[in-house]
A = this chain, B = another copy of it.
Amino acid sequence: MTVDQQRRPVKTAATSFAILERLKEQGTLGPTALASELDLAKSTVHRHLKTLEQEGYVVLDEDGYRVGLRLLDFGIHARNQHNLYEVAKPKVDELAEQTGEKVWCVTEEQGRGYHLYGAGGKHSVRTPAREGTRSYLHQLAAGKAILSAFPDDRVDEIIDQHGLPAKTNATITDRDELFEQLATIRDRGFALNREEIVPKLHAVGVPITDQAGNPVGAISLSGPSNRLTDDRLEDELANLLLGAANEVEINLSFS
């Protein structure tokens, strides 16, 4: 299942997507700026942009080129393929309302975590995550919850493929340490995250599995460390999420 390094990639397609990626990160850019960032001739970038524009994948406005809405169709389609989305959505809303914190539904593809849907309660804080965000699993409470539901060799595969890059100095960067935590998570049923992705941000995550025990995703709750103390996380909030996950699992089995 590992996506190993490819021998002969289609470079032209890769550069088109590299352009889109830059436009997504930087907002609105012109051919010259893009060319210098990507080390390409500006005529090359221009040609790509015009091709993408013709199909609606990028749009030209007065300030330059930006990502076009044509890509929304693809994204929504990709999300709807996971029926976890529609099943978990109402539960995520409910939890956000109930706790006032930020609640996310996350799933896994190719060893990476994707934020499918998030809802913010009354006093939820801003985090770098938004819908569609791709993250490293070991950096997320939800991600570690997902990893805990995988067999060890699959976790090894994922680490081999993506490594264990750090985000803060609390991020797990050691393979053995990660496996130790995963053992604890399997034991208790939930994962914690203490400033491992953003300073002063804590979170709990619980896995969602199918009947065979394979993870199909996770739900997490995150907030400021002063409100989300260890006591509250491990007791009140973990149990809340475990109950919600259980309901989602049951509903998933009938869809």
By a beta-carbon cutoff of 8 Å, the part of chain A in contact with chain B is 3, 6, 8-10, 12-17, 20, 24, 47-48, 50-57, 59-60, 66-82, 107, 109-110, 112, 114, 116, 130-134
Contact at A132–B13, with CB atoms within 8 Å? no
Q: List the number of copies, as a whole number.
A: 2
Q: Which residue of B lies closest to A111 (CB)?
A: B56
Contact at A134–B55, with CB atoms within 8 Å? no
Contact at B73–A134, with CB atoms within 8 Å? yes
Query: Given A12-B13, A48-B13, A74-B74, are A6 and B132 also a contact pair (CB < 8 Å)?
Result: no
Contact at B69–A71, with CB atoms within 8 Å? no
Contact at A50–B81, with CB atoms within 8 Å? no
Give chain B residues whose Cβ lies under 8 Å from the Cβ of A130: 76, 80
Contact at B109–A68, with CB atoms within 8 Å? yes
Q: Which residue of B lies closest to A24 (CB)?
A: B77
In Å, the complex CA distance between A53 and B55 comes to 21
In Å, the complex CA distance between A74 and B24 comes to 7
Name the residue among A66, A78, A80, A114 with the largest chain B CB count within 10 angstroms. Answer: A78
In Å, the complex CA distance between A107 and B51 comes to 22
Contact at B81–A67, with CB atoms within 8 Å? yes
Give chain B residues whose Cβ lies under 8 Å from the Cβ of A109: 56, 59, 68-70
Top 10 A-B residue pairs of the complex, sorted by shortest distance between their CB atoms = A75-B75, A73-B132, A12-B12, A72-B75, A72-B132, A13-B16, A76-B132, A71-B74, A69-B114, A10-B51
